[in-house]
A = this chain, B = another copy of it.
Amino acid sequence: MSLSGRHRIVIIGGGAAGMASAASARRADPHCEIIVIERGAYVSYANCGIPHFISGVVRDIHELVIYTPEYFRKERGIDVRTHSLAQAIDHRIRQVNIVDLAARSTYSLGYDSLILATGARPRMPRNIPADAMNVFTIRNLEDALRLESFISGGAVKNAVIIGGGWIGVLFCEAFTSRGIAACLIEERGQILPGFDREISLLAEREISGKGVTIEKGIEVREFLKDAAGMVHRIDTDRGYIDADLVLVAAGVEPVTELFAEGIPGDSSGAIMTDERMKTSIDGIFACGDCSPAFHLVAQKSVYHPLGTTANRQGRVAGENAAGGHARFPGILGTQALKVYSMEVARTGLSSLEAQAGGFRLLEALTISPSRARYIPGGCSITTKVLFDASTGLLRGAQMWGAQEVTKRIDIFVPIIHNRMTVTQALDLDISYTPQCSPLWDPVLFCLREAKRIFDARR
């Protein structure tokens, strides 16, 4: 209890999870005291929009700010403290030490409930001179502004992107639309490792077609600096790659150091919680990119940091920190992105994830039209579904196409969530209108193929 006698909730981190938890705590308890500690200048921003700021689609970075600290203070009664750093926690006396970066002073803050929404930091390649002026990572708006300012300088002809995950892929488009030649480096054998190889190859073909060089299975030996201390060349097992700019997008790792003591983490180091988002320490919750999420198909905790999950976990943590009883039911690993003008999306397990989890799955892969063939303007959609070899339960789905892919993947979400078999799913009363889908929508078309394969095996 704070001096005021009100229940005090302190939230470390003003990103998606932190601000969702703040808003949710306020809804659950109109009277409690809520303090958000944020290291940067911004809270509540759409960092998924950063590639579109760099590409120029978003002209002003303030378009990415959803709510300002002032809004939270005035309209929601949430005390947002930017430029503030949480330095240490003493959970025995429920107190956090805060550094006020602007005032260059420290103070301690008692709490009744503490929410850790400290997020994640980019994983950096070995030997990279992270302090070089032309090496960038992207986590927040400050990072975006720094990158934009460097590009606006005009000297960038070649950008090298380290990491072929979804952030790396989005930045291919951002760079090419700025007239910068991009080279995407991925040490694994495929880009978009969350997707199966067939889908990943379609993405690769699309990206290459836009003039991006993709180097898979490549080994980086050394980042070479010029006289000005900037990385200008990368030595790899396939030779040198020139770079005026290096963007590191090789995954992230949870930020947990301050809290590591006494709080068990999973194998990724993320802070474990129960389904109420409570850590093992009384009064401390965790949510967002610093914590794992329970995967409903894999039936285990996985580290799968995404904005949607952060938002959902934040809401649960906030409500419970305010005395509520919300639970976070888990994720399906749903993910969607645009690859230039194409859409790619997935939900449930990928083949690799299934293998790692010991699932014995069958798969169906189909290519079918998005609309009735006599309606112009449609496209081909590639669909892959993964289903249990013995029960027929649908376990995963992936799609690729020029349009209406992401919302079609979402049809699979309640199918997989509710543990339907391919046969049951094929019976669903899915809509049909020639201008939006053929009689056999790609979703049903692939399920029919899956059922054929499943029936033939019995």
Instruction: Give chain B residues whose Cβ lies under 8 Å from the Cβ of A350.
Output: none
Pairwise interchain contact A372-B46, C-beta atoms closer than 8 A: yes
- In whole angstroms, what is the CA distance A114 to B107 when docked? 85
Pairwise interchain contact B431-A409, C-beta atoms closer than 8 A: yes
Pairwise interchain contact B406-A439, C-beta atoms closer than 8 A: no
Instruction: Give chain B residues whose Cβ lies under 8 Å from the Cβ of A48.
Output: 372, 432-434
What's the least CB distance linking A15 to chain B, in Å? 13
Instruction: Give chain B residues whose Cβ lies under 8 Å from the Cβ of A431.
Output: 308, 334-336, 345, 347, 406-407, 409-410, 413
* Stretch from A239-247, A382-390, A414-422 contacting the other chain: A414-422
- In whole angstroms, what is the CA distance A441 to B413 when docked? 14
Q: List 20 A-B contacts (CB under 8 A).
A: A46-B372, A48-B372, A48-B433, A49-B374, A307-B432, A308-B429, A330-B429, A333-B429, A338-B435, A347-B431, A404-B404, A404-B407, A406-B436, A406-B437, A407-B407, A409-B431, A410-B441, A411-B411, A414-B420, A418-B418
Oligomeric state, in copies = 2
Pairwise interchain contact A343-B436, C-beta atoms closer than 8 A: yes
Asked if A375 CB lies within 8 Å of chain B CBs, one says yes
The 8 A-B pairs of least Cβ separation, nearest first, read: A336-B431, A414-B414, A418-B418, A407-B407, A332-B429, A406-B436, A336-B433, A63-B374
- Name the residue on B nearest A310 (C-beta): B439
Asked if A443 CB lies within 8 Å of chain B CBs, one says yes
Residues of A within 8 A of B (CB): 46, 48-49, 52, 57-58, 63-64, 296, 306-309, 311-312, 328-338, 343, 345, 347, 372-376, 404, 406-411, 413-415, 417-418, 420, 425, 427-437, 439, 441, 443
- In whole angstroms, what is the CA distance A455 to B27 when docked? 12
What's the least CB distance linking A389 to chain B, in Å? 22
Pairwise interchain contact B376-A57, C-beta atoms closer than 8 A: yes
Instruction: Give chain B residues whose Cβ lies under 8 Å from the Cβ of A329.
Output: 427
- In whole angstroms, what is the CA distance A413 to B443 when docked? 13
What's the least CB distance linking A304 to chain B, in Å? 10
Sample of 7 more A-B contacts, CB < 8 Å, known A46-B374, A336-B433, A417-B429: A48-B372, A333-B429, A334-B430, A335-B431, A404-B407, A406-B433, A414-B428
Pairwise interchain contact A410-B307, C-beta atoms closer than 8 A: no
Q: Out of B345, B435, B439, which one reaches A307, CB within 8 Å? A: B439
- In whole angstroms, what is the CA distance A441 to B311 when docked? 13
Instruction: Give chain B residues whose Cβ lies under 8 Å from the Cβ of A63.
Output: 373-374
Instruction: Give chain B residues whose Cβ lies under 8 Å from the Cβ of A58.
Output: 374-375
Instruction: Give chain B residues whose Cβ lies under 8 Å from the Cβ of A52.
Output: 374-375, 434-435
Q: Out of B333, B376, B409, B428, which one reaches A413, CB within 8 Å? A: B428
Instruction: Give chain B residues whose Cβ lies under 8 Å from the Cβ of A336.
Output: 431-433, 436-437
- In whole angstroms, what is the CA distance A328 to B429 when docked? 11
- In whole angstroms, what is the CA distance A430 to B192 when docked? 19
Q: Out of B46, B309, B429, which one reaches A347, CB within 8 Å? A: B429
Instruction: Give chain B residues whose Cβ lies under 8 Å from the Cβ of A374.
Output: 46, 49, 52, 57-58, 63-64
- Name the residue on B nearest A293 (C-beta): B429
- In whole angstroms, what is the CA distance A215 to B45 when docked? 49
Q: Out of B46, B306, B406, B430, which one reaches A410, CB within 8 Å? A: B430
Instruction: Give chain B residues whose Cβ lies under 8 Å from the Cβ of A337.
Output: 433
Instruction: Give chain B residues whose Cβ lies under 8 Å from the Cβ of A404.
Output: 404, 407
* Residue of A307, A376, A433, A443 contacting most chain B CB atoms (<10 Å): A433
Instruction: Give chain B residues whose Cβ lies under 8 Å from the Cβ of A309.
Output: 429
Instruction: Give chain B residues whose Cβ lies under 8 Å from the Cβ of A308.
Output: 429-432, 439
Pairwise interchain contact A417-B407, C-beta atoms closer than 8 A: no
Instruction: Give chain B residues whose Cβ lies under 8 Å from the Cβ of A307.
Output: 432, 439
* Residue of A46, A333, A431 contacting most chain B CB atoms (<10 Å): A431
Pairwise interchain contact A418-B414, C-beta atoms closer than 8 A: yes
Pairwise interchain contact B311-A439, C-beta atoms closer than 8 A: yes
Instruction: Give chain B residues whose Cβ lies under 8 Å from the Cβ of A332.
Output: 429
- In whole angstroms, what is the CA distance A441 to B410 when docked? 11
Pairwise interchain contact B430-A413, C-beta atoms closer than 8 A: yes
- In whole angstroms, what is the CA distance A32 to B437 when docked? 33
